Chain A
Amino acid sequence: MSAGLLSLQGLCVGIHAGARRLLGPIDLELRAGQCLGVVGESGSGKSLTALSLLGLLPPGLHAQGALRVDGETVALGGAAHARLRGRRLAWVPQDPLAALHPLRRVGAQLVETLRAVRGLGAAAAQAQAQALFERVQLPEPAAALQRYPHQFSGGQRQRIAIALALATAPQALIADEPTSALDARIARDILDLLDRLRREDGLALLLISHDLPLVGAYAQQLLVLQRGAAVEQGETARVFAAPAQAYTRELLAADRIEALPDSAADAPLWLRGEGLGLRYPRAPRPALDAVDIELRSGEGLALVGESGSGKSTLGRVLLRLARGAQGRVWVDGVDLATLDAAALRRWRAQTGVVFQDPYASLDPRMPVAQIVAEPLRIHTRLDAAARRERAAALLAAVGLDAAMLDRYPHQFSGGQRQRIAIARALATEPKLLVCDEAVSALDAHHRAAILALLARLKRERGLALLFVTHDLAAAAAVAERIAVLEAGRIVETGATAQVLRAPRHAHTRALLAARPAG
């Protein structure tokens, strides 16, 4: 057992000293060469914990607690604490694009830090910068130093941010959701990198995430937070083997794959697409390349793939929301290409869409009653009172209260907004519901609830469900069939259970392997 590098006892964070407590009391300890995982849903106080450790709480918030570094007591938020930051404590941001200066070459940003903090000369700093880029496994480190942040992919940018954090030769890295903006495979690579740095350089690592199974694969110690309080703490193996709290079990279960039985096998074919394609101007390859697809009434089909694989594009092409799309779509035997603009708008009453971002998909200037009833305003002649009545019934169907009709979107949580978006999509009693990454912006708790809601609505209303996602567990919860996309083509398709248990295509296996052990 290595010596404790940093310990923080009785951390409490509140608005002004003594007022309402947002976080705590929490005890945590970072040891050299160990990883501590801090896990919880959004609002549980994970980021507050990290900010308190770094002494970077926003103005108005006060932290109390006993911070000891190498056995010496350091006042939280004091000058001595500030000297630790960026030297012995380093921070890896959630969004590396926001953390890098967009107009300066990444090499210059790294060299600047090396010279300012480590006091290196120009040539030494340049050599050290290249060594750091090699350390974080960036391809062509020398050439990469000369590029700008926008010329890198998300995963590469996160590597650069890690290199920047390492520039000051810290003893502890604090990584706040370092992979939540990345897709599963690249996230895994980044975490592998952090893990190697921990083992080889003896770094202490504080890893913050909402994904318990993912963190469990890397951390030796776990701290589970719920509403600002530590609900479970201890060795990872013990927490996984015998979670003491129902909340921990829920976080663990949120990512487990349980496939649905195929119940729609003999339903009539409702939608058929042939040769669907889309190429964006000046793109090197088509976003979607001659894809065929079939969907029966009441059937759930999951479109799975990494970002850029064309799965969202396919959803939009099927709904005729993309300009310049190729291919033909038959719905109930009718070729959509034969419909004129007005008939196409009438056809849209048979479809509903739920988008990924529940913040952006509701008009901020409309009350919920109007948002939910908008499709009725388009397709029916119901008056305002009748529409309001229908809106109330729709809210009830998605588990919301009719008293919320007069509120505006900003007054709801992410999960509630996604329910509102689903209510709107169901307003005209459609036969097809397209969910474009509808649960990926939600935390584990809300994700499970929305998936259960979608599965129930699909069963009760006989909805055909097209579920676009990068999350295989979510796909399994609502879809009988699955289609795996890579680079604009479908590479594998079949019954969900079969594809997940015995994937035939290498890409499907890679997607499955990228998932943490559940």
Chain B
Amino acid sequence: MRSLASLPPLARICLSVLAALAAVCWLAPALSRYGPILPDWDALSAAPGTAGHWFGTDAIGRDVFARTLAGGRLSLGIGLLASVVALAIGLGYGAVAGLAGGRTERAMLRVLDVFSALPFLLVVILLLTLFERSLWLLLVAIGGYVWIDLARVMRAEAARLREAPFVLAAQAAGAGFGQRLRWHVLPNLLPLALVYLGLILPQAILVESFLGFLGLSIDEPSSSWGGLLAEGVQELDSAPWTLLFPAGFLVTTLAAFQFLGDGLRDWLDVKRGAPRSEEAAA
């Protein structure tokens, strides 16, 4: 595996920004004098900077700084969990389809096509409206939305591995499907899957924010960034900071992920890697 030091500088900056954001969100209780839920009745819709409310307060006096960081914790946390769910499903599905080949592979690909043809957000909204909302349902809903592309990428790579001589050699030695999958295909897919985690995380965060904006994410009184945006829009005239700060955090996070993803893609591109030492010497 290439060392992280060879990441392009922009990607490294983005990685630092994201690490700092995550650290601030999780350390929020230690940084802020106010909690995200209890109102400060002396400062309703206070402008940023008044009485220790660095980002101001909303209409019922809740501290926007504390709420933004708490929202970040939810957005990032749910995004990460949902991505891991998607990763597990996509990796498993793609690896099985790619290694199986033939009719099984074609059938499993058609299933993927059907999934991508569904208006998925509508289905998710329907699910979240009909059933009692829970964190699990939310994770499955978001994970179910982002796993499809991942499964396709993993399928393609697994199909390449299926014909790779070292997998053929295992088959020729008598290794069954499960053994080839566990010993060769999954371990060789994992590094790629982990890098793709960096690409699907922002998708998951965006979908979660969208659901939060529609009020379909985690229930009040805690709100993720999407929920905060929905509240902020209501107060746009009286207290625009309630919209601008969470929006700024969300945009910064997504942009950082975007640049990081671009960097990771270049970094992963085999053609740009170092040539094999023996060939270079020849």
Q: Which residues of A contact B (CB under 8 A)?
A: 22, 42-43, 46-47, 58, 319, 321, 323, 345-349, 351-353, 355-357, 359-366, 374-375, 378-379, 410, 413-414, 421, 424-425, 427-428, 434
Q: What 1/0 mask marks residues of chain B from 175 to 194 whose CB sits below 8 Å from any chain A CB? A: 11001000110011000000
- The closest CB in chain B to the CB of A434 belongs to B172
CA of A372 to CA of B66, assembled, Å: 58
Listed by A's residue number, 15 A-B pairs whose Cβ atoms lie within 8 Å are A22-B281, A319-B172, A321-B171, A321-B172, A323-B101, A348-B174, A356-B165, A361-B168, A363-B167, A365-B188, A366-B183, A378-B179, A413-B278, A421-B169, A427-B173
Q: Known pairs A352-B173, A355-B165, A359-B276. 13 more at Cβ < 8 A?
A: A42-B278, A46-B282, A345-B175, A348-B173, A348-B174, A356-B165, A362-B166, A363-B183, A378-B174, A379-B173, A379-B174, A424-B173, A428-B173
Given contacts A346-B174, A413-B278, A428-B173, contact A360 B164 (CB under 8 A): yes
Q: Give every chain B residue within 8 A of A356 (Cβ-Cβ).
A: 165
Q: How far, in whole Å, are A410 and B278 apart by their CA atoms in the complex?
A: 10
Please tell me if B119 contacts chain A, counting CB pairs below 8 Å.
no
B282 contact from A47, A374, A421, Cβ within 8 A: A47
Closest 7 CB pairs of A and B: A348-B174, A361-B165, A375-B173, A355-B165, A353-B172, A345-B174, A42-B282
CB contact under 8 A between A374 and B278, given known A361-B165, A363-B166: no
A42 to B187 Cα, complex, angstroms = 32
Known contacts: A43-B281, A414-B278. The answer to whether A361 contacts B172 by CB under 8 A is: no
B102 proximal to A (CB < 8 A): yes
Interface residues of B (CB under 8 A from A): 101-102, 164-176, 179, 183-184, 187-188, 276, 278, 280-282
Given the known interface contacts A319-B172, A378-B175, A378-B179, the answer about A361 and B166 at a Cβ–Cβ threshold of 8 Å is yes
Q: Which residues of A contact B188 (CB under 8 A)?
A: 363-365
Name the residue on B nearest A371 (C-beta): B166
Query: Which residue on A lies nearest to B167, using beta carbons?
Result: A363
- How far, in whole Å, are A486 and B30 apart by their CA atoms in the complex? 78
State the CA gap A360–B184 with chains docked (Å).
Answer: 13
Structural contact, B176 and A345, CB atoms closer than 8 A: yes
| B173 surroundings in chain A (CB, below 8 A) | 348-349, 352-353, 374-375, 378-379, 424-425, 427-428
Q: Given contacts A345-B176, A365-B187, A374-B183, is CB(A360)–CB(B282) below 8 Å?
A: no
Given A42-B278, A46-B282, also A351-B165 (CB < 8 A): no
B186 to chain A, nearest CB (A): 10
Most buried by A among B165, B176, B183: B165
* CA gap between A58 and B172 in the complex, in Å: 41
A484 to B69, CA, bound (A): 74
Contacts of B166 in A (CB 8 A): 360-363
**For residue B171, which residues in chain A have a CB less than 8 angstroms away from its CB?**
321
Residues of A within 8 A of B172 (CB): 319, 321, 348, 351-353, 434
By a CB distance below 8 angstroms, the chain B residues around A355 are 165, 168-169
CB distance from A152 to the nearest CB of B (A): 23
Closest to A176 in B: B282
Would you give the shortest CB distance from B100 to chain A, in whole angstroms? 11
CB <8 Å contact, A363 and B184: yes
B169 A424 Cβ-Cβ under 8 A = yes
Q: Which residue of A lies closest to B277 (CB)?
A: A410
Q: A42-B282, A363-B184 are in contact. Are A375 and B174 (CB under 8 A)?
A: yes
A478 to B170, alpha carbons, bound, how many Å? 25
Cα A145 to Cα B175 with chains together (Å): 49
CA distance A348 to B187 in the complex (A): 24
Shortest Cβ gap from B191 to chain A (Å): 9
Chain B, residue nearest A421 (CB): B169
Structural contact, B165 and A360, CB atoms closer than 8 A: yes
Closest to B175 in A: A378
> Chain B residues with Cβ under 8 A from A359's Cβ?
276
Shortest C-beta distance, A174 to chain B (Å), equals 16
- Shortest CB distance A134–B (Å): 34
